[in-house]
Amino acid sequence: MLASEGGTVFHHSGWLAALERESGRRALRLACEEPDGTLSGVLPLMVARGLPLGLGGAAAGPRLSSLPRTPVAGPVGTSETAVGALVAEALAQAAAAGLRLQLKPAAGALSLAPGLHGSPWRRSYVKPLPADPDLLRFGNSRNHGRIAWAVRKAQREGLLVRDAASVDDLREWYRLYLDVSRWRGLPARPYRLFRSAWERLRPGGFLRLLLAHQERSGRDRILAGSMLLRLGDTTFYAFNGRVREALSLRPNDLLQWHAMRDAAAAGYRWYDFGEASAGNEGLARFKAKWDTQTRTLVRYHAPPLPGGEIEYGPAGNREWLRRIAVGAWHRVPLPVTALAGDQLYRFL
């Protein structure tokens, strides 16, 4: 996986297997090998069918991607030569299949091959971690104090944090994840993705599901949970679920506090909160309040997307239509949202 050369958990065979389970399609695993047999580069790819009838624009069309439904997983290698060879082969594979190529490097620019065009995509929020978790700080004293207050409030309310220990925990967390996705107006990923990731990544320590829970009247209830994916020097905050009515108890603040302290203690140097889409100011504020650094993710396409497209969906003045759709989505039963998301992600 060449983690020391920029590989992430999204290059791990367990993540590829989870994507294969989710989509029902096989991944293409490109590797660059030196004359002495040494592995010098890898690039995972998978075909995305694309939405029918041109829905979502060219960005949601058929493509060979690294990887679909994954934030970052571009080519990594021990040299520019190895990365260049991987990109050239990916271009050839996409051309042979009649597909657009989409590459998603974690950082840095790719040496552009003819026809490969890079465009800024979204801002990603990353927190540097100290070697000593007791040195973890969140900006100035006022901001740090607010976060510390929220954590103490959660603790005063009797909230505790533990690792998910069973598939039953995973299933209960998934129901919370469905509700978050519905509230954000987003389709939910199917349960089988998380079950496969749980089975393939958790045993090696590459996946951790942290749960904030509270015991009341002899009943232990999960109020929130964060799924973390880990490899090399980075822990990714990947998925979240919560009980909306319990947000005033600050379970998410407690979870992030624990997750970052534990990651620092385990030797991880970066805690990646992931990206926030344009216009999602609430999510951006939550990720920024932890004194994060911002990085601009770049998406590369060949051929380039038309008209400067970088996101799914229509641009322009249709925000009113999106708000109506999200309002309607809030009233859809959770099992129906799960079924709809399952069908949609077969195309994306």
Task: Express each pLDDT in 13-72 by its tens digit.
Answer: 999 999 999 999 999 999 999 999 999 999 999 999 988 877 778 888 999 999 999 999
Give CA–CA dist 150/152, Å, rounded: 5
What was the pLDDT predicted at 318? 57
What was the pLDDT predicted at 218? 81
Enclosing H/E stretch for 77: strand 76-77
Q: Three-state SS for 46?
A: strand
Q: Which residues contact 194 (CB under 8 A, 6 or more apart)?
A: 18, 170, 174, 177, 227, 239
pTM of the model: 0.92
What was the pLDDT predicted at 310? 67
Main-chain dihedrals φ then ψ at residue 31, nearest 5 degrees: -140, 145
Q: Which residues contact 180 (CB under 8 A, 6 or more apart)?
A: 240, 241, 242
What was the pLDDT predicted at 311? 66
What was the pLDDT predicted at 3? 54
What was the pLDDT predicted at 128? 98
Residue numbers in the chain where pLDDT is lower than 70: 1-5, 108-109, 111-112, 308-322
Burial class (CB in 10 A: 0-12, 13-18, 19+), 22: buried
> Please, are residues 136 and 260 in contact by the beta-carbon 8 Å criterion?
yes
Choose among 83, 10, 5: nearest CA to 46: 10
Choose among 121, 114, 120: nearest CA to 302: 114
Q: Where are the beta strands (DSSP E) in 164-292?
A: 207-216, 219-231, 234-242, 270-276
Q: What is the DSSP string of 86-128?
A: HHHHHHHHHHHHT-EEEE--SSS---PPTT-EEEEEEEEEEEE
Residue at 268: amino acid letter = Y
What was the pLDDT predicted at 277? 83
Residue at 148: amino acid letter = A
Choose among 42, 104, 100, 35: nearest CA to 68: 104
